[in-house]
Amino acid sequence: MKLQQLQAFVAAAHHRSLRAAARELGITQPAVTHSIRELESTLNAELMVRSVRGIELTACGLALLPRAEALLGDMRRTVEAVEQVKGELAGKVSVGTMPSIALTVLPRAVSAFRADMPLVNLHLVETTVPEALTQLRNGTLDIAAMHQVQALDGDLVQTPLFSSEFVVVMREHHPLARVSSLSELLDAEWIVTVGADHFPHSVMMAMFTRHGLPVPKRMLRAPSSFAVTLGLVSQTDVIGCFTRPLATMVAPLGIRIAGIEEALPTYDLSILSRRDLLPTPAVAQFVTCLREAARDRMGAREDVVY
């Protein structure tokens, strides 16, 4: 297999169009078609077919795509690693993250990284854990700064970043602002940031069941949308759960932390990466910046992992 063959195949698979793939690669459409046919001949397998919706991947194409993406990503990182060791501090670092990190330690990490490596292209994306795991495996992401994943598969590794407790949050002048027990919030409307499939393992479920309480019946769902959650919690009577650093960060928007007496769940955050992939110097430096930003942001506390 040749590099240009994999590039043509991946571009066509992403765009579902030979013409769009040609535009992305800066070559002609016949050249894209020729490269893909060469790849099919090499593998002795049909990889894609035309349909009314454009290009459709065959079963063999679907099997090849994540591996081809990973190969291209590894090739890019190999070249960048050599260039960065030579002192050519360019290349790319792709990071997936979530609000608990994006609004607390990430800005400081980016500022520190920019001071050290101003020419490296940073690609930052807010993502969910399932999406992040897929993108780590196919090479789209270099690292993901997320909450810790239980029972993580062996092809990935996670390095602890910091731990934080959850807090109950509501708008400043909420009618229930002075309550001190979860039992007093059972009739309130809560917002849940996970889908129905993940709710049994959610913080919300753990928070109530560990204290022998039923889960509130009135729930509004906004999976993976912090903007929706923040807007509703700050401007309506909907109640939510944030990590304490995140709640402190958005407090100026009119959000208060409820003085709940019960112990609430903790939240472990980690840096996830592929076990078989050596980080480029730029990726390693960004990880260092994240860890230092977590230490500085959280202070010299026991829940910060050095």
If DSSP codes are grouped into helix, strand and coil, which group holds residue 21?
Answer: helix
Whether residue 305 is contained in a domain is answered as: no
Here the CATH number for the domain that contains residue 123 is: 3.40.190.10
pLDDT at residue number 297: 73
Rounded mean pLDDT of the chain?
88
| Residue 171 domain-assigned (yes or no) | yes
Closest CA to 1 of 32, 43, 47, 58: 43
* pLDDT given at position 305: 39
Instruction: Give residue 150's domain range.
Output: 74-162+268-298
Work out the pLDDT band at 303, boundaries 50, 70, 90: very low
Count of the separate structural domains present in the chain? 3
Residue 301 has pLDDT above 70, yes or no: no
* Angle formed by the axes of helices 18-25 and 3-15, nearest 10°: 130
Is there a single domain that holds both residue 272 and residue 207?
no
Judge whether 176 lies within some domain. Answer: yes
Least confident range of 14-28, 79-93, 278-292: 79-93
Does 134 share its domain with 275? Answer: yes
- Domain match, 210 and 251 both: yes
Percent of the chain clearing pLDDT 70 (strictly above):
95
**267-279, pLDDT tens digit by residue?**
899 999 988 888 8
pLDDT reported for residue 36: 92
In a domain, 279, yes or no: yes
Through-space distance between the first and last CA atoms of the chain, rounded to whole angstroms: 43
Whether 129 and 47 map to the same domain: the answer is no
**188 within a domain of the structure (yes/no):** yes
Q: 235 and 222 share a domain? A: yes
pLDDT in tens, 182-224: 999 999 999 988 777 777 778 888 889 989 999 999 999 887 7
Asked if 169 and 248 sit in the same domain, the reply is: yes
pTM: 0.71
Pick from 79, 143, 65, 76: nearest CA to 106? 143
Do both 222 and 262 map to the same domain? yes
Band of residue 117 on the pLDDT scale cut at 50, 70, 90:
confident
Domain co-membership, 155 together with 275:
yes
Residue 303 located in a structural domain? no
Is the residue at 306 inside a domain?
Answer: no
User: Are residues 43 and 173 located together in one domain of the fold?
Assistant: no
Q: Tell me which of 23, 46, 68 is where a domain ends.
A: 68
Look up the CATH number of the domain holding residue 54: 1.10.10.10
